[in-house]
Amino acid sequence: MTEHTPTYPRPRGSPERAELAIHRREPAAGVSVVSVAGEVDLATEDAFRQALVAAAADPGTALLVCDLTKVTYLACGGMSVLVEVRNLLDRRRAALRVVATRSLPRRLLTVTGLAEHLGLCADLTEAFSARDTYP
């Protein structure tokens, strides 16, 4: 199992000095889980993109699970990154599942119509059980 845990501080001048924590693990062959904690906004969007694109570009990744259970805020730029990663995975015939339990990220993905497109799941168990449904 491979694990990566970078932490990305916000740039100087940001309203808050909060951090975005990103942790990547591979619990099974072909499965990559990227867990994110904090706020995904303009200040942290690039770090969010880098982590997800790296996991999606890994030729061994058949299922990428983006775990947003500890995300407190998801800006439209973060949703755009999820769509970008979904499109990248589609070209590789791999799958994306997004886990969001907090009301704000889950509601935003649902209201925008992205929930179904991004494979929104209630928990990791549901995300892993959808493993056989690659596009």
Phi and psi of 76, rounded to 5°?
A: -60, -30
Whole-structure pTM value = 0.84
Give 64's strand partners: 32, 96
Cβ–Cβ under 8 Å, residues 30 and 60: yes
Q: Domain residues of the chain, as ranges?
A: 3-10+18-123
CATH number belonging to domain 3-10+18-123: 3.30.750.24
For residue 125, give the DSSP letter: H
pLDDT at 112 over 50: yes
Q: What is the mean pLDDT of residues 86-103?
A: 94
Determine the pLDDT at residue 16: 54
